[in-house]
């Protein structure tokens, strides 16, 4: 597409994902614009129009697909069980598409999306924004530099505390069979991060529990992944943690890294801040991680400033991919591996034992 024209983007869904993540990130990316927003809720239509006065506000997805020549990208930010159908509709309309994680609700559905995208030669990517979290970028750099020696273990957590279900929250009111629950939601982020760092696991063990009355999906889940070369990753996602653990704990033969607290970008977006500000993606020094290393038997401890978080990189790379200047930021093939791990975790929970994979 011409360099002097912005990537015209239609966002389907204007809940938390669409309004707080996709729309502001697209609007703040050079040579991109929010051209249309699709939502059935009258209240969200009014909010979308207030947020983006120049955008077309639609109540039906057909309004986008019937005018496919007016859009260069579709973003699917709707409940998980709608992802495949909307993704296929975009592909069949010839419009590149970004689908929120975990893309679909089964590996069969992900494979259908891959096949359709390949046959139609239409770009597709997965919104795994947590690849650009400040703590994850820091861990990647520590591993690349070999500062901890050979990695043996990693702990990764998204823990919160909320006894009552979130009113109107589809993730808690939807069953796992329909894409609800924490394993699909936050769990897919942590699994994806582990896959980026260590490749495909050989074995999966999981405890997938549903503890709160009124919640349809899992709300307290543990997953253990065993990778080649004896690397072990433990993942916790829970809504029942009155006292949370460290966000990351990375252990190597020659050192360890521990990080508490969450990347600041989500809260910044919710507060109306946008990438481009000098402090974007940066956290207070009190939240920096702790690095422990040994040199000649001597222990050294220091604070490590986190790499700046950079969610904006996702849409910068997607813009360039649409213009034929590079690959999509997150290949859907990565989402297929993640989905197979989720399915193996569910199988492990049923048999109460480890499951071999890949």
- For 300-333, what is each residue's pLDDT tens digit? 999 999 999 999 999 999 999 999 999 999 999 9
Q: State pLDDT tens for residues 81-140.
A: 999 999 999 999 999 999 999 999 999 999 999 999 999 999 999 999 999 999 999 999
8 A C-beta contact, residue 70 and residue 61 = no
Domain ranges of the chain: 7-127, 130-310+340-356
The neighbour count for residue 261, using CB atoms within 10 Å, is 17
CATH superfamily of 7-127: NAD(P)-binding Rossmann-like Domain (3.40.50.720)
Query: What's the CA gap between 85 and 276, in Å, rounded?
Result: 35
Q: Do 7-127 and 130-310+340-356 come out as alike in CATH topology?
A: no
C-alpha–C-alpha distance, residues 148 and 172, integer Å: 38
What torsion, rounded to 10 degrees, do the Cα atoms 233, 239, 244, 245 define? 0
- Which of the 8 DSSP states describes residue 129? G
CATH architecture designation of domain 130-310+340-356: 2-Layer Sandwich (3.30)
pTM, 2 dp = 0.96
Cβ-based burial of 62 (10 A; exposed 0-12, middle 13-18, buried ≥19): exposed
């Amino acid at each position: 597409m011409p360099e002097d024209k912005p990537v015209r983007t239609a966002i389907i869904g204007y809940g938390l994902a669409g309004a707080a993540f996709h729309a502001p990130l697209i609007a703040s990316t050079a040579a991109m614009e929010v051209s249309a927003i699709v939502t059935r809720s009258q209240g969200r239509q009014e909010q979308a129009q207030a947020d983006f006065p120049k955008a077309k506000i639609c109540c039906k997805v057909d309004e986008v697909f019937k005018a496919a020549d007016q859009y260069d990208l579709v973003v699917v930010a709707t409940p998980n069980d709608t992802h495949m159908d909307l993704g296929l509709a975009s592909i069949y309309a010839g419009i590149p598409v970004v689908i929120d994680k975990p893309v679909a609700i089964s590996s069969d559905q992900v494979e259908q999306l891959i096949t359709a995208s390949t046959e139609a030669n239409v770009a597709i990517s997965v919104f795994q924004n947590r690849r650009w979290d400040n703590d994850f970028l820091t861990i990647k750099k520590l591993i690349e530099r070999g500062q901890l020696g050979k990695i043996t273990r990693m702990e990764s957590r998204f823990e919160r505390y909320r006894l009552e279900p979130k009113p109107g929250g589809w993730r808690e009111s939807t069953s796992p069979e329909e894409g609800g629950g924490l394993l699909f939601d936050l769990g897919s982020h942590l699994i994806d991060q582990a896959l980026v760092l260590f490749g495909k696991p050989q074995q999966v063990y999981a405890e997938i529990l549903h503890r709160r009355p009124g919640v349809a999906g899992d709300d307290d889940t543990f997953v253990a992944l065993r990778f080649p070369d004896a690397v072990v990753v433990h993942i916790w996602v829970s809504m029942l943690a009155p006292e949370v653990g460290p966000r990351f704990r990375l252990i190597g033969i020659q050192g360890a890294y521990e990080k508490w607290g969450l990347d600041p970008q989500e809260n910044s977006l919710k507060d109306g801040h946008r990438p481009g500000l000098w402090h974007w993606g940066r956290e207070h020094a009190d939240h920096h991680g702790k690095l422990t290393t040994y040199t000649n038997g001597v222990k050294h401890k220091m604070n490590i400033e986190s790499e700046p978080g950079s969610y904006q990189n996702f849409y910068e790379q997607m813009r360039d991919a649409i213009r034929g200047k590079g690959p999509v930021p997150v290949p859907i093939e990565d989402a297929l591996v993640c989905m197979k791990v989720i399915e193996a975790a569910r199988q492990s929970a049923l048999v109460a034992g480890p499951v071999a994979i890949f």
